[in-house]
Amino acid sequence: MAHDTPPPHAERDAIIAALTPLVDGIAATFGPVCEVVLHDYRDPEKSVVAVAGVLTGRSVGGAMSEIGLRMLARGDEAADELNYVTRTRGGQQLKSSTMVLRDSSGAVFGALCVNVDVTAVQQAQALLAGIGGGGAAKASTTTTFGNDIDSVVEAIVDDHQLRRGRTWVQLDRAQRLLLFRSLDEHGVFAVRRAIEQVAVRLGISRASAYSYLSQARAATAPSSDPEPESDPDPDSTGGDA
């Protein structure tokens, strides 16, 4: 007699339940320099279902980080990211691994993340490199962690603007489309109300934000959408009525 296949949500709940005890065990093994976070991507705004350690200050019911949003944007194409180095906004250097969770169909629905504070190790390496005449340490990327998904989305938007060295008003149409495409690729718009948050952060109307997102998704490459002599968008001057 053939066995009935459990519904996807039941299988995923079972995987989460099985992994939850491991969170405390892994963190206890490495001690206070370690944090372990178990995410359920079915609720991005409250994806943290288990956490041990205090490196990023998150708690159960907290939101996913921008790393998680990037995983979410990749969907079932997401892959494990192992031994990467990032930096919290508080200046801690973290060595991290994000391992995606899949159900029996191969669908990605969560992740197990391990963060280890290597700040002291990095400082020691920099000191030894300076004494020994070695090269400068490789810079790490600042990552926003938080229990509030709004702050994570806002930080991603701000970071994208800072890296371009221009505010929304200073961007031409092609650059604005590139900004929305980049935000989309980072999973920002997978979060509920994200389009409204982005619009407020950029100082444009929600309608304009939807329009730019639609155009960015339709364009195959930045060069495929030639820049016009003037931007007909009502927010081209940066103002909203």
Q: What is the pLDDT of residues 115-170, one digit of tens each?
A: 999 887 766 766 666 676 555 445 555 565 666 677 777 777 877 766 667 778 88
| Length reported for the chain | 241
The Cα 6–Cα 204 span in angstroms is 46
Q: Which residues pair with 31 in a beta bridge?
A: none
User: What pTM was computed for the model?
Assistant: 0.64
Please tell me which residue, 200 or 136, carries the higher pLDDT value. Answer: 200
Give the confidence band of 232 by pLDDT, cuts at 50, 70, 90: very low
- Going by DSSP bridges, is the β-strand pair 141-142/93-102 parallel, antiparallel, or unpaired? unpaired
- The answer to whether 38 and 30 have CB atoms below 8 angstroms apart is no
| Residue 222 confidence (pLDDT) | 44
Consecutive H or E run containing 26: helix 8-30
What gap in Å lies between CA 37 and CA 146, rounded to an integer?
Answer: 12
- The per-residue pLDDT for 129 is 66
Of 157, 150, 83, 92, nearest to 120 by C-alpha is 92
100 beta partners: 111
pLDDT at 124: 73
Q: Which two tokens stand for residue 144?
A: 């926003």
